[in-house]
Amino acid sequence: MRELHDTAELRQILDEHPDLPLLIYCETDEDMVFCPHMSVELCEFLKDATPIEDEDILFTDRDEFREAVEIYLEDQLTEDLDPQAFAARVDEVVREYESRWLPGILLSVWD
């Protein structure tokens, strides 16, 4: 992620991809804050709800989604699975969401 110092790159990406949704991610601990830093990039994001019960999560990274599924299943599964069976279950859940990944433009801002 490279920090932007003007809006030229943002405008260029928006002009080149006018049909893609614009996702805005703000990283701050404050309720209201001025965020002078920003970056923009083309991304993929997971549309729709996931099995992960934290509705504040928007997945833009497939590896992070896989890790979250692993953690979720570790907490939710009641039967003990051997490592291969567990990995197969994770693969199954990840595959269920494969068609829900969509292209987008991610604008990240931070203080």
3-class DSSP state for residue 111? coil
| DSSP string covering 76-100 | H--S---HHHHHHHHHHHHHHTGGG
Q: How far apart are CA 68 and CA 54, in angstroms?
A: 10
| pTM for the predicted model, two decimal places | 0.79
Q: What is the pLDDT of residues 48-98, one digit of tens each?
A: 777 776 666 789 999 999 999 999 898 887 778 888 999 999 999 999 999
pLDDT value for 29: 75
pLDDT value for 51: 74
Q: What is the pLDDT of residues 5-17, one digit of tens each?
A: 778 889 999 999 9
